[in-house]
Amino acid sequence: MSTSRFRVIAAGLVLLAAGAGAAAGLELGIDAWAGNLGFRADRASTDTSLPGADYFWGVSLFGSQAVSDSMKVEAGFYSDPILRNTTRTIFTYDAKYLSVGIGPIFGLFNDLGTPVKSGISASVKLEYPGLLFFSLRSDSSIGGSLVQTGDYAQELTEIVLGVYLPNAICTIGIRTRSFEQKAASQNVTDSLTEYTFSTEMFKKNVPYRLRIWMAYHDLSRSFIAASTTTATLGSVILGTQIEASLPGSFVAMAGIEGNVYSFGLGTLSGSDPAFLFRTHVGVKMKLDHAF
């Protein structure tokens, strides 16, 4: 992890601590992830090997606060293997059947020449309580084409359809993320498209929630100049996550996802690389009273 990311995380911890001292009913969380499912940031266009030999990690800090019965604000710093470093602040209005959220996002220290990149996030959720829901989220950097070396743009789109069953929530979803940056002689785009089916299981008065999922991942890096060269890794993924309620309003969470089968497309060659995985562990806490 770079020194700039350490500085961003330290600043986030200070802001979250300040918020904890100022607001009652605040929920705070921290989540750390690590794994080898991804391409190196300095991977060259001539590299045709499958990934798996390099390891990556990051930390996210987040919090939420109810402003009223129908209004909530969420904010955090997020480290992502595709989007890299972002902050996001979302104000959400929640009615019985409709939730609408909007707010600013910022890319932070992803390039020394562009320490802050502004953007906007919006989300909509339609829900028939106890039966089904549909949600849509879109995050996008603001600005035109990439002009100077180091300029970048971050994009995220997520569509989810969910059904409530007895003691379970089943969802299908599509999620895309991309990070495009201008280099000296070309543009480089990292992207990930995920098609996921998941089931979250729970039971009243049991302090555990278990989520399992199966997905297909399309991970790629494109080099765009006079022509486009793309290295793509297709993977069938299985994953699981558990959340456990602990004494003192704490919730611990841990999860892992890994490839069942992977294969190269485009300029990548071969199949069945080393086991590719991403794991995470975190904790959330609710502060019911101001300090």
Question: Residue 272: its pLDDT value, please?
Answer: 67
Rounded to 5 degrees, what are φ and ψ at 164? -90, 125
Instruction: Give the chain's domain count.
Output: 1
pLDDT band at 247 (very low <50, low <70, confident <90, very high): confident
Rounded Cα distance, 132 and 125, in Å: 11
- pLDDT of 19 > 50? The answer is no
**Confidence band of 147 (pLDDT split at 50, 70, 90):** confident
CA separation for the pair 219, 51 (Å, rounded): 10
Question: What is the residue range of 181's domain?
Answer: 3-287
For the segment 58-109, what is each residue's pLDDT rounded down to a tens digit? Answer: 999 999 999 988 999 999 999 999 999 999 999 999 998 999 999 999 999 9
| 86/78 Cα distance (integer angstroms) | 5
Provide the percentage of residues in the chain whose pLDDT is more than 90.
Answer: 73
Tokens 């996802």 appear where?
Answer: 257
Instruction: Annotate 205-257 with DSSP letters as a single string.
Output: T-SEEEEEEEEEEEEEEEEESSSEEEEEEEEEEEEEEEEEEETTTEEEEEEEE
Which tokens belong to 221? Answer: 């890096």
* Signed CA dihedral, 236, 41, 43, 151: sign only: positive
CB-CB contact of 140 with 120 (8 Å) = yes
Contact status, residue 139 vs residue 119, Cβ threshold 8 Å: yes
Over 70: is that where the pLDDT of 166 sits?
Answer: yes
CATH number at residue 49: 2.40.160.60
List pLDDT tens digits, range 174-218: 999 999 999 988 999 999 999 999 999 999 889 999 999 999 999
